[in-house]
Amino acid sequence: MAKVVVAPVAEMPPGSRRRIQTETRAIAVFNVGGEFFAINDRCPHGGGSLSCGVLTGLVESDGPGRYRYSRKGEILRCPWHAWEFDLRTGRSVCDPARMKVRQWPARVEPGAALAAETFPVSVEDDYVVVEA
Amino acid sequence: MHPLTGAVDCDLHPDLPPVAALLPYLEGHWADAMVERGIESLETASYPPNVPLAARPDRRPLLGTGVAGLAGATLDAWGLSAGILNPLLGVHLVFNQDMAVALARALNEWIAREWLDRDARLRASIVVPLQSVPDAVEEIERRAADPRFVQVLVPAMWEVPYGRRSLWPVWEAAARHRLPVGIHAGSAYRHPPTSLGWPSYYAEDYAAQSLGFQSQVGSLITEGVFQQIPDLTVVLIESGVTWLPSYLWRLAKFWRGVRSEVPWLAESPAAVARRHIRLTTAPFDAPEDADTVGRLMDQLGSEEMLLFASDWPHWQWDGAAPPLPAGIPPALAAKLTRANPRSTYPRLAAEVPA
């Protein structure tokens, strides 16, 4: 897997997202409360662009009329058919056993470590990096 | 052995009693009030007596002949082990709650005395006055003491969808006594039988019944009735069968997109339906073609859901005995006619040898 520099961390604050295009695929990158997640930008159900989806929370229930809301911002809703995907696992909420979007490792690396790459980086800054 | 030998017929219709026949079973005030008010019959527009569907011409002479006529033409003629009576009297049409309660009680007593007492193979559904939920629960509690009552009976179209929480006490009482809730074609006519307004013709009304059944299935599943009452079984009677797979596909499709609206529904509506919904086979609504039926069974995705029924005396089929879906293998025929009715109606299994 190649290392892809997405953006300087300062340009991707919590709640922001980026769509990047490598030679072979499009990837959606999200900053959720300081954690970075990268998934295929193509919904495994119908092909919608997940980087255009709504980030919401997980609604669960232990019986009719009872709502348990957690993990705000960690569930991505596809803009086409509104299927939900868990950013931490890639799995769909409605059919987790059979429907999953591919994930890619995303993290923050110092510019100094990326200096040998072919991207123009400043060694003083940190960057969001995806292994894809 | 004929495939119907030992079968359980899950939809037999006894004669509809004129109100005069119920008078001995009505409490004093109501017995006199019915006479004084001139209420002589409770027939509904769902089954006008002269509509062809109401009875095949060769069966019309048997109408009004009571247990002997029905048992001779069905249980005896086809070698059945048991049959479940679903009386379609228009108790659900009545707006006066107290009158509805009195009529339901009298009708159930009439069924017990005039039908069940006279043929040990007969079972019956409990007609409940949904007009008053506490009284409907009380009627279930009263009749549940008699093991010959095996089901609770309600019409396909009522005042509100059946998933609504106001009705849950009725479904809970049914499940508590191991009584499936049988939803039978018919309407209380609180609303037009189509969502577009009133149809002009009987064919429209009858065909639209399956839309009412669809909406009830959607309501029961999305409102979470089967999460709330895990032991509940719902039987769709005279609903037609073949619309169900495509409706479930549609419901499941939309559920995937709006799952968070009904988070208690943590699995596909189709999976819930396969566990909790059953359907009788008359009418089946498919051509007499084995390939078509085979595909429909694949789409249904379960061999447990179908229950044999004749819908006697309604004119759903021709010939001497009610047909099973075309081309089904003998093992599946045995399930439809014997195993599935017994597992669906646990109170029946306890009384009728397999």
The verdict on a CB contact (< 8 Å) between A62 and B268 is no
- Per the prediction, chain B carries an average pLDDT of 95
Summarised one tens digit per residue, pLDDT across range B321-344 is 999 999 999 999 999 999 999 999
| Residue pLDDT, tens place only, B23-55 | 999 999 999 999 999 999 998 888 888 888 999
Task: List residues in chain B touching A: CB distance below 8 A.
Answer: 165, 223-225, 227-228, 255-260, 263-264, 266, 268
Closest C-alpha to B168, from A60, A67, A65: A65
Indicate yes or no: CB of A82 within 8 angstroms of CB of B258: yes
The answer to whether residues A100 and A44 touch, using CB atoms and an 8 Å cutoff, is yes
Three state DSSP letters for chain B: CCCCCCCEEEEECCCCCCHHHHHHHCCHHHHHHHHHCCCCCCCCCCCCCCCHHHCCHHHHHHCCCHHHHHHHHHHHHHCCCEEEECCCCHHHHCCCHHHHHHHHHHHHHHHHHHCHHHCCCEEEEEECCCCCHHHHHHHHHHHCCCCCEEEEEEEEECCCCCCCHHHHHHHHHHHHCCCCEEEEEEECCCCCCECCECCCCHHHHHHHHHHHHHHHHHHHHHCCHHHHCCCCCEEEECCCCCCHHHHHHHHHHHHHHHHHHCCCCCCCHHHHHHHHEEEECCCCCCCCCHHHHHHHHHHHCCCCCEECCCCECCCCCCCCCCCCCCCCCHHHHHHHHHHHHHHHCHHHHCCCCC
Q: What is the pLDDT of residue A112?
A: 83
Q: What is the pLDDT of residue A123?
A: 81
Out of A64, A68, A82, whose CB is closest to B223? A64
- A 10 A CB-CB count for B277 gives 24
Question: Does A72 reach chain B within 8 Å, measured CB to CB?
Answer: no
Q: Look at A60 and B263 and tell me if their CB atoms are within 8 Å.
A: yes
Chain A, 50 to 69: residues with Cβ < 8 Å from chain B are 56, 59-68
Up-side HSE of residue A22: CA atoms within 13 Å toward CB? 20
Give residue B296's pLDDT band: very low, low, confident or very high (50, 70, 90).
very high
Tell me if ipTM is over 0.90.
Answer: no
pLDDT greater than 80 at residue B206: yes
| Candidates B228, B259, B260; nearest CB to A64 | B228
Q: Largest Cα–Cα distance in chain A?
A: 57
Q: Give me the pLDDT at residue A97, please.
A: 94
CATH number for the domain spanning A45: value is 2.102.10.10
pLDDT of B77-89, one tens digit each?
A: 999 999 999 999 9
Q: What is the pLDDT of residue A113?
A: 82
Mind listing the pLDDT tens digit for each residue in A58-96? 999 999 999 999 999 999 999 999 999 999 999 999 999
- Check CB contact of A85 with chain B, cutoff 8 Å: no
Q: CB A64 to CB B165 under 8 A? A: yes
Q: What's the domain range around A46? A: 3-131
Q: Which residues contact A79 (CB under 8 A, 6 or more apart)?
A: A48, A49, A50, A52, A53, A54
CB spacing of A64 vs B264 below 8 angstroms: yes
Probe site for chain A from B256, B258, B268, B272 (most A CB atoms < 10 A): B256
Q: Does pLDDT of B309 surpass 80?
A: yes
- The whole-number pLDDT of residue B257 equals 94
Q: pLDDT-based confidence at B352, cuts 50/70/90?
A: low
pTM score: 0.94
The residues near B71 (Cβ < 8 Å, ≥ 6 apart) are B119, B121, B122
pLDDT at B354: 62
Would you state the pLDDT for residue A124? Answer: 82
> What total number of domains does chain A contain?
1
pLDDT band at A21 (very low <50, low <70, confident <90, very high): very high
Q: Which residues of A touch B227 (CB under 8 A)?
A: 63-64
pLDDT for residue B325: 96
The residues that bridge with A128 in the sheet, in sequence order, are A7, A108
| Rounded Cα–Cα distance for residues B340 and B338 (Å) | 6
Structure tokens at B9: 């017929």
Domain residues of chain B, as ranges? 8-349
- Alpha carbon of A48 to those of A41, A123, A132: distances in Å? 8, 36, 20
From the options 3.20.20.140, 3.40.250.10, 1.20.1560.10, 3.40.50.300, give the CATH code of B8-349.
3.20.20.140
B121-177 pLDDT, tens digit per residue, is 999 999 999 999 999 999 999 999 999 999 999 999 999 999 999 999 999 999 999
